[in-house]
Amino acid sequence: MAYFDAASTEPLHPRAREALTAALDTGWADPARLYGPARRARMLLEQARAEVAEVFGCRPDEVSFTASGTQAVHLGVLGVSRGRRRAGRRLVVSAVEHSSVLHAAQVHERDGGSVETVGVGRTGVVDLAAFGAAVRGESAEAGGDGGGGGGGTALACLQSANHEVGTLQPVAEAAALCAEAGVPLLVDAAQTAGRAPLPGGWSVLAASAHKWGGPAGVGVLAVRKGTRWRGPLPEDEREHRRVPGFENVPAIVAAAAALRAAAEESEQEGARLSALVDRIRTEVPRLVPDVEVIGEPVARAPHIVTFSCLYVEGEALLAELDKAGFSVSSGSSCTASTLRPSHVLEAMGVLTHGNVRVSLPRGTSTADVDRFLAVLPDIVRGIRADAGVKS
Amino acid sequence: MTSRHTAAQQAAQAPALTIDALGRKCPIPIIMLAEQIGHVPLNGVVAVLADDPAAFTDIPAWCRLKSHHHVGSHELPQGGWSIHVRRNY
């Protein structure tokens, strides 16, 4: 068995498991109370916050823990667009953002705001000039000032790397354009947090612990000082009044331990995984005819590679790979609950059927990758033959 | 406006072959296109009628990969598209 779906969720890091077990005994009390066990829980929580802040290069009091990465994105997008209501009602997003960003944008639109979606090139990199124009309100789409009032931009959102194809986005450059226009930038760092250093210049950061080897149920929302934020949910005193509900202290402690461990290992392990990804990117088109390898070949997340096989149904490919012992994911429409192809692949204008995303967790062995490369050609050939494709 | 539209329609090449892939899921419309593109003469146009949203992205992508020419995609009144491909070789 080889698990190649780290971009969905990374298996728990051993350091997270240790930290979790210990914190279940020591960090169970309510960190908001004023007695011994509560103080201990609070201390653990604040230590975890400081560790996370250090890895992300911000202040501890700028960090709030959420229930998930998705919740962090929702609160980040909606909180800043509410907080900056007077500055403007326009939200700028790239076309390949995670669905959590796009769904939050839909809520913003329903509340009377406007959303401008900036396109990407064939490899999934956002059109930076168009992004800048949208942020400044200069693009044709923004021209009408569609009743949002003010015509200004409340917030721009850009992922650090794409979750389906691994392409890195020009976050530093986008942050500079936003700073010049006085517009905050939300960076969805779910795919790179703990795997690659974060570019600076962001105003809001969202990330998810289970993607870096922490437990599920912990997200991170960081809001830099000076960024106006107004909560979209009923008020609650937890997490700097940003996130409602009782903190899961043991899970947060484990998430921080995993983040530190992953960040420490990332330079070496990232380079190792990246070399395996290079091998897949080179070998798949050599071994399998009619394949398109998708996304940026070099400026990419270290662990993600995506390709599409012509004349192959994505669902059949996933099933055959599963039988052969490989867990991978797909952006093909037949594998989606909506029966629509992935919006990322559509925006890039690349082949959406026969799509496979391989994302390598830490510790992936060369032997596993070799075995994958050994079984893939026959699997693809078999599915094509069943569909009556002459090769 | 009307005259330009008419001129454009006249300039557009009538398809030499129409493949009805309505109701078929990807990759079937593309498999049908790949099988049948050889049935039209060089520079001839094949129209693929498809309503799987994946076909809208995938047929132009297939053209790029296979060095054929995606002429254009037109919405059909009943839903779906007529996707025109010119045979290049």
Strands across the sheet containing A219-223: A63-66, A219-223, A204-208, A185-188, A153-159, A90-94, A114-118
Given a contact cutoff of 8 angstroms between Cβ atoms, the answer to whether A191 and A301 are in contact is yes
Q: Report CB contact under 8 Å: B30, A310.
A: yes
Could you tell me where in chain A the CATH 3.40.640.10 domains are found?
Answer: 14-261
Helices (H), A31-182: 36-56, 69-83, 99-110, 128-136, 171-181
Strand locations in chain B, DSSP E? 17-20, 45-50, 69-75, 81-86
For the CA atoms of B40, B41, B42, B44, what is the dihedral angle to 10 degrees? -60
Structural domains in chain B plus CATH codes: 14-86 (3.30.110.40)
Q: Report CB contact under 8 Å: B31, A389.
A: yes
Architecture of the CATH domain A2-6+267-386:
Alpha-Beta Complex (3.90)
pLDDT of the residue at A140: 65
Q: Report CB contact under 8 Å: A389, B34.
A: yes
Q: How far apart are CA A43 and CA A209, in angstroms?
A: 20
Contacts of B37 (CB under 8 A, 6+ apart): B46, B68, B85, B87
Tell me the CATH class for A14-261.
alpha beta
Which among B28, B35, B53 has the least Cβ separation from residue A341?
B53
Give me the phi and psi of B86, to 5 degrees please. Answer: -100, 130
Helix, strand, coil in percent for chain B, rounding step 5: 40, 25, 35
Q: How many CB pairs under 8 A join A and B?
A: 62
Give me the half-sphere count of Cα atoms (radius 13 Å) on the Cβ side of residue A44.
27
Q: What DSSP line would sit under A83-99, residue for residue?
A: HTTTT--EEEEETT--H
Give the H/E segment covering residue A357.
Answer: strand A355-359
pLDDT of the residue at A391: 64
Distance from the Cα of A138 to chain B's closest Cα (Å) equals 28
Which chain A residues are within 8 Å of B31, Cβ to Cβ?
311, 387-389
pLDDT in tens, A214-260: 999 999 999 999 999 999 999 888 998 999 999 999 999 999 999 99
Ranges of residues in chain B whose predicted pLDDT is under 70: 1-11
Q: Please count the helices (runs of H) and the strands (runs of E) in chain B.
A: 3, 4
Could you tell me where in chain A the CATH 3.90.1150.10 domains are found?
Answer: 2-6+267-386
Which chain A residues are within 8 Å of B52, Cβ to Cβ?
333
R_g over Cα of chain A: 22
Q: How far apart are CA A331 and CA A352, in angstroms?
A: 7
- Copy the structure tokens of residue A211: 């993607």
- Copy the structure tokens of residue A287: 């071994």
- Copy the structure tokens of residue A229: 């934020």
Q: Report CB contact under 8 Å: B31, A354.
A: no
Contacts of A324 (CB under 8 A, 6+ apart): A375, A379
pLDDT in tens, A304-334: 999 999 999 999 999 999 999 999 999 887 7
Q: How far apart are CA B20 and CA A108, in angstroms?
A: 41
Which chain A residues are within 8 Å of B83, Cβ to Cβ?
none
Ranges of residues in chain A whose predicted pLDDT is under 50: 144-150
Q: How far apart are CA A58 and CA A157, in angstroms?
A: 19
pLDDT of the residue at B19: 98
